Amino acid sequence: MVVDIISPYTVAVAQFDEAAERLGLSQSMRNVLRAPKRELIVNFPVRLDNGDVQMFTGYRVQHNINRGPAKGGIRFSPEVSLDEVRALAMWMTWKCAVVDIPFGGAKGGVICDPHQMSRGELERMSRRYATEISILMGPNSDIPAPDMNTNPQVMAWMMDTYSMHQGYSVPAAITGKPLAIGGSEGRLDATARGVQVVTKAAMRHLGMSPESSSVVIQGFGNVGGITARLLHEMGCKVVGLSDISGGIYNPLGIDIPTAMRFSREHGSLRGMPGTEPVTNRELLELPCDILIPAALENQLTKDNADRVQARLVVEAANGPTTNEADRILNGNGVMIVPDILANAGGVTVSYFEWVQDLQHFFWSETEINQRLETIMSRSFNAVLEKATNQETNMRMGAYLLAVSRVAEATELRGIYP
C-alpha cells in the first residue's frame, strides 16, 4: 500500500499562498512571509538513569516576529520533525494575528518518547533543551509554552533553567507555568475554553442547540479532555472519544467525569465499560453533529473527508485537515472553524500570563475567563464577517484577516537595513 506522507509545512504554505493571492500581496511580500525567520537545530546529550548518554535532537523555529516577540509551544514526540515545527511556527504567526495579540509565531520540539522516560530523564532533557535554545529565549524575544506531551512541570524546569543562566528569576520567559511560580489562573483550561466559545458561536450560527447536538472528540489530553468536559457541562451529548490507544463510542452519550476517572486510573480510555471500541480512523466517521479533532495533524484527509458525518468541524488540534480534505468538507457544506482561530484560547491566556508576569500583578480566574471570552467571541465574529463579505469559508476568512495584519506590520516596519 502506498501511504501518502503529507508535509505539514506544504499544507501551511499552500494555505498562505491562497490567502496571499486573494489579498493581492506583492511577490516580495509573499517571499518574506513564506519563509521562517530563524531555525535552530540542537543536538544535545542527556544522561539516562542507567548511566548511558543519549543524544537528542530538538528544534526551535521562529516564523515571523514583526508583530511582537516569538510565541509558541514545545512538543515532545517521536514524530517531531523540522518540517512539522516549521508549519506549527507559521500557524502561530497567523493565530496570534487572528486574535490580534502582539506576538509573532514560533514553535519548538524534541524528538523523544516521553512515555518511555523516567521523571529524572525528562527533567534533564527539558533543562538541557532549554539551555540549548536559550540563545533565542527571553521575555522580549521568544516565549515558549506547552504543547503535546509537555505540561506545567516541564515549563517550570525550563523557566528555572533559563533563570539560572540569568542569575535571577524570569517568569515571563515562558508561559503555561504552575501557578506557584508566576503561572496564570485559567491557563490549563484556556485552549479548551476557547474551543468551547467558538463551538457555541458556530452552533448559534448554524441554528444548533447543545441539547440536540452530539459530539465526537479525537484526543483526550489537555485540549480534548477539557473540551469534552466543557461541552458535556454545556449539555451536548459526547458520543465518541479517543486517545492514542484508540477510541470509544456510545451513541447514547459518554459520561465525561467517568471517562476522565477511567483514563486517569487505566492510563487510557480503552476498555471503558458501557462503550464500544472503535479505531481512531473509525472515530472520525462516526455519526455526530460536531467533530473536534484535538490530537495531531493530518487526521482528515482526501481518504476519509467524504465520510465525515458532522456538519460542524472545530479544529482544536493544529493542522488536522489536509487541503484536499478541506475542499471536500467545504464542498459537502460542512462548516469548519479553523485551527488558527479555534485553538487560539491557549496563546491568548499565555499572553495574559506574560502580561501579568511582566507587571508582577495577577488577575482573578473570573477576570481571565471573561477577557478570554471577549477576545475569542470578537475574533470569531470578525472571521465570520470577513468570510461572509468575501464569499469564502471560515479558514480563508481567518487567513485573510491574519495575513493582512502581519503584512501590514511587515510593510510598516520595512526592510532593515
Residues assigned a catalytic role: 107
Binding test (CB under 6 A) with ligand NAD, winner from 126, 149, 213, 379: 149
Among 121, 147, 160, 357, binds ligand NAD (CB under 6 A): 147
| Cβ–Cβ < 8 Å for 56, 129 | yes
Residues 6+ apart with CB under 8 A from 132: 40, 42, 44, 58
Binding pattern for the stretch 117-146 against ligand NAD, x by CB under 6 A and - elsewhere: -----------------------------x
Sheet holding 276-278, edge to edge: 276-278, 246-249, 237-243, 214-218, 290-293, 312-314, 335-337
392 is in an annotated binding site: no
DSSP state of 295: S
**By CB under 6 A, is residue 260 in contact with ligand NAD?**
no
Q: Of 20-28, 56-64, 292-300, 326-334, which part binds ligand NAD (CB under 6 A)?
A: 292-300
Site map (CB under 6 A) of ligand NAD, residues 18-57, x = contact: ----------------------------------------
3-class state of residue 326 by DSSP: helix
Tell which one of 62, 218, 356, 379 touches ligand NAD (CB under 6 A). 218
Does position 316 interact with ligand NAD (CB under 6 A)? The reply is yes
- Return the residue matching grid coordinates 481512531: 280
| Residues touching ligand NAD, count (CB under 6 A) | 24
Q: How far is the CB of 266 from ligand NAD (least distance, A)?
A: 13
**Binding status of residue 278 toward ligand NAD by CB under 6 A:** no
Say whether residue 199 binds ligand NAD (CB under 6 A): no
Q: Is 59 in the site for ligand NAD (CB under 6 A)?
A: no
The three three-digit cell numbers of residue 270, written as one number = 480503552
Closest distance to ligand NAD from the beta carbon of 91 (Å):
9
Shortest gap between Cβ of 282 and ligand NAD (angstroms)?
12
Nearest to 23 by CA among 407, 414, 411: 407
Helix, strand or coil, per DSSP, at residue 279 = coil
Q: Is 294 in the site for ligand NAD (CB under 6 A)?
A: yes
- Cα 24 off chain centre by: 28
Query: Which residues 6+ apart lie within 8 Å of 278 measured at CB?
Result: 240, 242, 246, 247, 248, 249, 286
Cβ atoms < 10 Å from Cβ of 118: 11
Q: 346, 145 in Cβ contact below 8 A?
A: yes
Closest CA to 295 of 239, 348, 240, 256: 240
Q: Confirm or reject binding of residue 154 to ligand NAD (CB under 6 A).
A: no
87 touches ligand NAD by CB under 6 A: no
Distance of alpha carbon 264 from alpha carbon 45, whole angstroms: 32
Does 301 engage in binding with ligand NAD (CB under 6 A)? no
**Distance from C-alpha of 357 to C-alpha of 155, rounded to nearest angstrom:** 14
Nine cell digits for residue 218: 479525537
Q: Does 242 bind ligand NAD (CB under 6 A)?
A: yes
**What is the C-alpha end-to-end distance of the chain, expressed in Å?**
52
95 is in an annotated binding site: yes
Q: Is position 343 an interface residue for ligand NAD (rule: CB under 6 A)?
A: yes
Return the H-helix or E-strand segment holding 124.
Answer: helix 119-133
Using CB under 6 A as the binding rule, whether residue 148 contacts ligand NAD is answered as yes
Does position 222 bind ligand NAD by CB under 6 A? yes
Q: Does 105 bind ligand NAD (CB under 6 A)?
A: no
Q: Binding site for NAD(+), residues?
A: 191, 222
**Residues at the interface with ligand NAD (CB under 6 A):** 146-149, 191, 218-224, 242-244, 280, 294-296, 316-318, 343, 346
Q: Binding site for substrate, residues?
A: 71, 95, 350
Q: Binding site, residues?
A: 71, 95, 191, 222, 350
